[in-house]
Amino acid sequence: MHQVTAPSPFQTVTDAILLAAAVALLMGAVALVFGLPGQRTATLFGVNLCAVLAFQVFSGNSGIVSFGHTAFMAIGAYLSAWLTMPASMLRVTLPNLPSWLGGHELPVLVALAAVFVLGLGAALFSGVPVARLNGASASIATLGILIIVYSVLSAARDLTGGNRAFYGVPRATGFGLAAAFACGFVLLARLYRDSRWGLMLRAARDNEPAARACGIDPVRLRLGAWVLSGGMGAVAGALYGHMLGAFTPRDFQFDLAFGLVAMMIVGGMGTVTGAAGGVALIMALQEGLQRLETGFTLGPLQVPQVFGLPILGTSLVILLVLLLRPQGLFGDRELTLPARLRTRQAVGTEGMSRPAGGTRSLRLDAVTKAFAGLTALRNVSADIPPGRVTGLIGPNGAGKSTLVNAITGQLPLSSGQVTFGTERLDRLAPQDVARTGIARTFQNIRLFERLSTEENVTVAALAQGVPLSRARDRAAQELDHVGLAGMAERRAGSLPYGARRRLEIARALATDPAFLLLDEPAAGMNPEETADLARRLRSLPAARGAGLLLIDHDLPFVMSLCGRVIVLNRGEVIADGTPEAVQRDPGVIEAYLGTRASRGPTARQEATPPPPTEEMTHAPT
């Protein structure tokens, strides 16, 4: 019995508390050392940190830079003002405000709770279209939300006072309240990041097709992160409004959005530690540049007043960070306990074989896939049995990877159907195909590069509904099974090539598949790595009951593992049988070596098919 280790279930909570304590210590030190000005600076730091963490929960985990969260801050500020302001003050400030909307004079904490709930609702309403987008288009959509909210607030004079200052808001955000919410937001953001939802969303951020192949629905996860961050943004905006005491819609416009995004990017938007560090660094930079904005003397040089120096300096810092360290100053590193103090639990690999598969076969019926001017697959039919290794070979461009993509839902069929047992796979999205028990690897390796080796495998088990602690156990087991137990904490993007191939297989196995589709798993491996992989794959059908469909260019590797081989050429099945029969099939020989090699026997030849040649054995597929 081997012993491998997995993180303790309490480790994430411990690390989150450590980071929250560090934030509290920093704020307390600033307030204590600098007195009243320090308290004001610490309060502003706490409010800014709350706002940046609202951005980070969505942007850091999804990879989509949002400019729209200041819209939720504006909504939160006005909502909290209506709920907390004295009725007499509201009648003076906003005489036409509906009575049901204002004059409640709620305690600030009660108002903040209501603001959080209403912020969740606003984010849910706006997030449905945003979650379906990705990359630059999603960022532009968030900017559109900010413009819409700003325009509505500016035009709704009876509700907001328009572009006039909305004054009389209780100035309730002091050092204590800001520190409490900053620490609470740190805990919430860190726990979300390392939760099952945060981990799966970060996987989709790194490689969406691979995430879908594991069973992850990126749209649903992006929507969940957007809704949570919207509620957090509304609370941050309320704290900001109660700190200012008077504000206009312009206070929540582009300048604020730029400053908060700058803090997130400079520190590193992928981590909560980076968000906190970015707030501290940018605030220190802006504080120093504000003092120099009126001009200063540098030795014999007299520097005149430079209007907008803080914005200029912040912009230059962003450019330098993006150029020299695109992942931010803190990168993907979180503040954690030292390695010697981190608790890990032993996991036995005994009993890791989990027979799955059952009796369902994978059936292809007249599968056809046509692109513009090209038919990649033409009437491909096959019945692939469970619990066995079936090979799929063919020359380059034969349609092998296209067929795997069609089976797994990555490509919609032009005609035909794919069934697994009684279930139609060709009608399902890739993540839904994965949940039926179909797992795959990719011809071009697709890993979650910024996640650790262990997290790459854990996320695949999580996508199948396995609880987090059990998913970590399964990840440790699968890594041990493929020989990567010693690399569990290394980032996937730093692994050598052969280890990356094995990691992709371990990730697929963590879904506990009934069928495993391996697209050139031995490509690029040396002979020793190929032999080791063959040994590990050979045991899978008996150990787990899983069926394997194996594609590879190494024909000895395929023939040694498979009891049956299907041959594709130009998108059509040209042979289907045992390895021996396939290697002697004239159509297969012609496909690999040309027409001369496939001519029938002459008068000088025996009337028996030629044995497989050395050239055919090593011919590219």
User: In the chain, where are the structural domains located?
Assistant: 9-254
pLDDT classification of 7: cutoffs 50, 70, 90: low
User: Residue 339 pLDDT > 80, yes or no?
Assistant: no
DSSP β-ladder status, 564-569 and 547-551: unpaired
Amino acid 354: pLDDT: 46
Q: What is the mean pLDDT of the chain?
A: 89
pLDDT classification of 350: cutoffs 50, 70, 90: very low
pLDDT classification of 252: cutoffs 50, 70, 90: very high
pLDDT classification of 343: cutoffs 50, 70, 90: low
48-62, 299-313, 424-438, 453-467: which has the minimum mean pLDDT? Answer: 299-313
Phi/psi for 438 (5° steps) reads -105, 120
Classify residue 351 by burial, with Cβ atoms within 10 Å: 0-12, 13-18, 19+: exposed
Q: Which residue has the higher pLDDT, 375 or 295?
A: 375
Amino acid 66: pLDDT: 95
User: pLDDT tens digit string along 539-551?
Assistant: 888 888 899 999 9
Amino acid 42: pLDDT: 97
Token couple for 54: 């609202």
Dihedral, CA of residue 59, residue 63, residue 65 and residue 68, to nearest 10: -50
User: Residue 606 pLDDT > 50, yes or no?
Assistant: no
Amino acid 337: pLDDT: 77
CA distance 556 to 567: 15
pLDDT classification of 362: cutoffs 50, 70, 90: very high
pLDDT classification of 523: cutoffs 50, 70, 90: confident
Cα–Cα nearest to 434, from 219, 218, 210: 210
CB atoms near residue 35 (< 10 Å): 10
Mean pLDDT, residues 211-221: 97
Are 531 and 512 in contact, with CB atoms under 8 Å apart?
A: no
Amino acid 291: pLDDT: 82
User: pLDDT tens digit string along 75-101?
Assistant: 999 999 999 999 988 888 898 888 888
User: Residue 141 pLDDT > 60, yes or no?
Assistant: yes
Amino acid 620: pLDDT: 40
CA distance 276 to 293: 26
153-167, 285-299, 342-356: which has the minimum mean pLDDT? Answer: 342-356
Classify residue 538 by burial, with Cβ atoms within 10 Å: 0-12, 13-18, 19+: middle
* CA pseudo-torsion sign 597, 603, 608, 610: negative
Mean pLDDT, residues 556-570: 92
User: pLDDT tens digit string along 222-243?
Assistant: 999 999 999 999 999 999 999 9
pLDDT classification of 21: cutoffs 50, 70, 90: very high
pLDDT classification of 479: cutoffs 50, 70, 90: very high
User: Residue 604 pLDDT > 60, yes or no?
Assistant: no
CA distance 611 to 581: 10
Cα–Cα nearest to 584, from 608, 568, 562, 601: 608
Read out DSSP for 77-94?
Answer: HHHHHHHHS-HHHHHHH-
Mean pLDDT, residues 49-58: 97
Amino acid 516: pLDDT: 95
User: Residue 449 pLDDT > 60, yes or no?
Assistant: yes
DSSP β-ladder status, 389-393 and 547-551: parallel
Are 561 and 389 in contact, with CB atoms under 8 Å apart?
A: yes
pLDDT classification of 332: cutoffs 50, 70, 90: confident
As a 3-state breakdown, the chain gives helix, strand, coil percent values, each rounded to 5, of: 55, 15, 30
User: pLDDT tens digit string along 44-53?
Assistant: 999 999 999 9
Read out DSSP for 305-355?
Answer: --TTHHHHHHHHHHHHHHHH-TT-TTTTPPP---GGG--EEEEE-TT----
Amino acid 331: pLDDT: 87
pLDDT classification of 597: cutoffs 50, 70, 90: very low
- Give the containing element (helix H, strand E) for 47: helix 11-62
Q: Which residues touch 265 (CB under 8 Å, ≥6 apart)?
A: 65, 278, 318, 321, 322, 328
Q: How many CA atoms lie within 13 A of 597 on its CB side?
A: 19
User: Residue 614 pLDDT > 80, yes or no?
Assistant: no
Amino acid 608: pLDDT: 38
